Amino acid sequence: MLGKLRAQLGIAFAQLRHDRLRTVLAILGVAMAVLATVLLVSVGFGVIETGQQKFDQSGRDLWVTGGPVEIRPGSAGGFENTLVDSHSVAANITAREDVATAVPMGFQTVYVGKNTSDYQTLIGAGAPARGPSVQITEGRGVGSPDTHYAGGQYDGPMTRQVVIDQRTATLLNVSVNDTLYIGGTLATARQNKFTVVGISPTYSRFIGAPTVTMHLSELQEVTGTTVSDRGTFISIRLQDGANVTAVENDLQTAYPEYTVRTNREQLQATIQDQIAVIASGVSLVVLAVVAGILLTLNLQLSFVYQRRETFAALQALGTPTSSLSAIVLTNTLLIGLLGGLVGIGVAYPATWLVNRVAAALSGFEQVVTLSDRVLLGGLGVAVCVSLLSAVAASLYLRRLHPLSVLRG
């Protein structure tokens, strides 16, 4: 038995060395299927892990939203935040015994410029820019409270202070104590001057884009959304020992027009909003695997067809068809294992490259996370691709009629 296996391996290796172009193409086909599977699955795991970390780092327990954030082309701010009377709702929630704090936040696209003639379109974050949940890498946070809201009158003094992230600082070539002009329209931006008091990566990492952060009421003022007091969501931190599920249910009952979610539920909702992107990624994996199967199958069938007279002669001399099929299977499995190892080997530099590109474009680091499970899964894909091709080639081999082939 051992000698038979050794002979089959020897024949398979000889065939691989003999037809090197076919071998290389087959290995590359399997490697591409493995690489696509490993990278796209790793992106999925990385996104979920990164998202969970961002929500956990926020120090919040619950999130209240008024529905999906909708784009309003051509309008000041560019977004239609659907949570109305955000300050009032947050104040009512904060008054609950089991809630430590509830903070309304809003995000709007704004024009930002170092002078009044050159502007960039960035994300304005109306959110706290100080405290333990906000990381300040240079300067300080916005120290004064939100005096401009003034109980809903929006007539209090504006701090006119802003915290930016490092990408915004580099893009606009500004630093702490420099001046920025910010507004929902160019005309409004020219009239609203802010001082950069600090640099922080907190909200840039949270939304994956360059940001300027200020008090929510001041963002609403410069984007013309003070009338309805619209926000994107309200983040809630509960008192120590409070039951998150119970508070979530109570708030959902008290505010049926809004949606209350935990960190995990909010992350799941965010991912579900990107279902089209996820479907595209799954489609790419399927296409890569199918392409690997078709390429390997085509090469294996051509291998059997080109050597059909040799196989027919061996069958006529009494060699069992099972032995010939075993040679084809061994040949294909070797190609699969080699292709799987190549795909896994390439996955490491490819992961580094994708992470660098993702960090440059979105600000998110370690989007692709390789794990032993994913790598083993990639090797499993290689074996499956090889087995399917081997089975099809073996069936084709079994259909050969030795006498007809030799006479032809």
Question: What confidence tens digit (pLDDT) does each residue in 334-359 have?
Answer: 887 888 888 888 888 888 887 777 66
pLDDT at 257 over 90: no
Q: What DSSP state is assigned to residue 283?
A: H
User: Could you tell me the CA-to-CA distances from 390 to 176, 335, 348, 366 in Å, in that order?
Assistant: 65, 11, 29, 38
Judge whether residue 119 has pLDDT over 80: yes
Least confident of 87-91, 228-232, 330-334, 403-407: 403-407
Phi and psi at 364, nearest 5°, equal -90, 130
Half-sphere exposure of 144 (CA within 13 A, CB side): 16
Per-residue confidence (pLDDT) for residue 158, from 0 to 100: 92
Q: What angle do CA 121, 124, 126 make, to 5 degrees?
A: 170
User: Please, which pLDDT band fits residue 71 given cuts at 50, 70 and 90?
Assistant: very low
Burial 10-33 (b: 16+ CB within 10 A, else e): ebbeebbeebeebbebbbebbbbb
pLDDT recorded at residue 377: 82
Other CB atoms within 10 Å distance of the CB of residue 164: 33
The confidence score (pLDDT) of residue 290 equals: 72
* Residue 67, helix vs strand vs coil: coil
Task: From 137, 126, 109, 140, select the one nearest 202 (Cα to Cα).
Answer: 137
The SS3 call for residue 162 is: strand
pLDDT digits (tens, 9 = 90+) for 203-220: 887 777 889 999 999 999
Average pLDDT over residues 6-16: 55
Q: Which two tokens stand for residue 155?
A: 């007539």
Q: How confident is the model at residue 235 (pLDDT cuts 50, 70, 90)?
A: confident
Q: How far is CA 152 from CA 77, 146, 182, in A?
A: 20, 11, 22
183-207: average pLDDT: 90
Per-residue pLDDT at 72? 45
145-150 contact pairs (CB < 8 A, 24+)? 146/215, 146/216, 146/217, 146/218, 148/215, 148/217, 148/218, 148/221, 149/87, 149/215, 149/216, 149/217
pLDDT digit string (tens) for 124-177? 999 888 877 788 889 998 877 888 998 889 999 999 999 999 999 999 999 999
How many other β-carbons are positioned within 10 Å of the β-carbon of residue 317?
A: 8
